Structure 1
Amino acid sequence: MNDTSIYNECLELATRVEGLKNRIAQRREEKDKISHLNAVLSSIRDVSRLIIKEKDPQSLIQGICSSLIEKRSFHNAWIVLVDEHGRVTTGSEAGLGADFQKILQKIENDRMPRCCHMVLSEDRFLVTTNPCRECLNCPVSYMYDGRGSISARLEHDGRIYGILTVSVPIAYSQDPEEHELFKDVADDIAYALHSIDVERDRKRKEVALREARDKLERRVRERTRDLEVLSSRLLNAQEAERKRIAADLHDGIGQCLSAVKFMVETVIQQLDGKVARQAIKSLDALVPLLQESSEEIRNIIMNLRPSILDDLGILATIGWFCRQFTSVYSHIRLTKTIEIEEDQVPETLKIIIFRIVQEAMNNIAKYADAGAVSIYLGKKDNALELRIEDNGRGFSVDRFMTSGSSALAFGLTGMKERAELSGGSFRITSSPGKGTRVEARWGYSCVRSY
């Protein structure tokens, strides 16, 4: 073997060694790339979990920045968020430290770094191979020595939410696979920010709707209370007017009729035996008419405001009313049960109880065609209870109460208002052919002035 052969063999061996070195380097690069891509994919999975879990924008972007560098997929990462007008609202970083504040200050002072300016106003996606040379006005460009950067606009449905920038080895900054993964991450972050905005807007609307509803309910309660006070005053005025008219009838017309009757009877006695009976016959006929008129005036007075209520109380008044009712409607069997003492009935409820009894019994006489009626007034479970029942024809409560067009409906509404305005509850139960039950109940702690 001569020198030439040895040289050729050495040259071939050197070529093979060089090829082997290249393949080893290529394998190492491929291995590093796979490792890097795995780290990126792992970071993306962490980001996806954060997007699902986190509902606060600040916490979300801080968690994303930390996740992107945690698996050594990127050297550093930072996110700046802007509002609809492009003004910075917040920002987060991982791997930059205190220098990140300088970026925020430059943006706020309208001296936006190159990557921010281009991504927010021009290109949605930007790759910077050598930030140290290309981004001279960036306060963190010195940190990118030997690395490139990738920036992407965070945008969804036309709304720009901000910018995401990461630092990567220069070799990967030009990799299409890296670009696609990064774009996917940016799109996912933008969609997450959009979802947070939608949810916040929904909650704001719910709060506004709830506040509007509460305000309306308060106004309705206030107006209802005002109407209740007005109704109470009207009923008070009505009772006062009834009492005044009853007193005027008693002291005026009632006494005049009594005086006239007395004078006619006196004249008849004086003329008796002195003139022919035929001459005073008309005077004899006048006496029963005067008596009947007096009785009618007395009935009107008692219906307007029975003096017995003020003199003897509600129990005596109910007893008197029942006797009057029985004398007029003798075909109706009336049962009265009183299980309470006079002093156990609040003064403010006495006239209300009488009016409900009066209205209910008048309705029974006019409409029920009943053969039996029962009245109960008593104390049960620290509450005063009034109940009137009949076995008459009954009726559809809903139809009558909603129509409000009949005298019966008007009377039922009046009873209900009297009971509820005084702090009680009112219920009427009836159906065709099954009679009617009227119930009013007042808790002693809830009784209001009438």
Structure 2
Amino acid sequence: MTKAHALVVDDEPDILDLIRITLARMGIQAQTAANLKEAKQLLTTQPFDLCLTDMQLPDGNGIELVAHISEAYPDLPAAMITAHGNMESAVAAMKAGAFDFVSKPVDLQMLRRLVESALRLRDAGPTDEADSQISGQLLGNSRPMREIRRMIGKIARNQAPVFITGESGTGKEVAARLIHAEGPRRDGPFVPVNCGAIPQELVESELFGHKKGSFTGAVGDKQGLFQAAEVGTLFLDEVADLPLQAQVKLLRAIQEKSVRPVGAQQELPVDVRIISASHRDLNAEVDHGSFRQDLFYRINVIELRMPALRERPEDIPLLATRILTRIAKQTGRDDLKLSDGALRKLAGHRFPGNVRELENILERGAALCDGNLIGADEIYLPQNPAPTPTATSPAQTDLPLEDYLGEIEKKAILQALEETRWNRTAAAKKLGMTLRSLRYRLNKLGLD
């Protein structure tokens, strides 16, 4: 492996010496520049594997250099050295294309981790078979999906926090896993957490860990999810569901790159990439006061919007084929296929539950069909909102009372799921039941 070369840009000789010595001990040769002009000139003389630049330079600022590198040398990771606590500069640098940032006074352990992560980009080869399987889950030849895959490839190369938006069932976690798998942290853990599924009183313990005896039931030290994701990626799904108190601590953890377990006296350094997601409009949540604006600003450095299935109907046949292949393999049946009528029926549906709803429809269709061809009659699509229970009676529908009540229950559940875009946690709340109870009813009614 050839020796790595780094460009270090700073007008303070002491910092240049510190970084040069640190890099030398890592086997990295450093070239230094004291200003923008010198840095741009050096970039034309030889290839570099990494650039570290100070924010404030005599003839400009580091963001200008980051933007120049991002445009002229897109494969060169550039990191920003910022003043301590100046998160606005760090966020601005990452929006301009910076790979990551480190604060003054420079923590040498964090600097080494940043450099190692950047160099993994240079050494990274093509994704392995497992990563290709992840990529295969983002199916579609439509323009929106081609753009999503292009964006993921670009996003994967830096460490900036990513916020993935989109309706429930559009594949936000799949996109997060792919960002992780295609980036320099691929060999580290990918730790997903559904923020809405954690009881509020346990959120801080789950995220940051706790010390023995810090609260009733804390019978031993517990590692938090931040620590579990060390040198990897922490995926905060449905981040809008975090209580405000936990949002404050999450903001500090992201800014300081350290966490304090519940009951601990000192913070512990952590090296994780944060990817967040929500089907809710966080701008509206900020306006309502239920989500901190400073936290939203911090996690929304890069936004990735997953398209709804109705925005790419031309992908339905390909998605259906892949899903049916999986169902056939799981059930030990011959190849399952859709009739032309079934495909037309699917093409005319708006899919409020997106790809997840398509999976449920096809699983039900596969269970109902006798052979290997699923016809239009086996494709069950949710209808319009249910009439009120008093609109008809068992006698009027010629149904036994139990079946009649089951139909009312099914329509009410489907309506709640559609109104919440198939977010089961939100639907359960809307229906006044627990998530576990909703899951039981979905299974009982054949909707799960």
Greater helix proportion? 1
Structure number with greater CO (CA < 8 Å, separation at least 6) is: 2
Question: Which of these two proteins has the greater Rg computed from alpha carbons?
Answer: 1
TM-score, length-normalised on structure 2?
0.23
Q: TM-score, normalised by structure 1?
A: 0.23
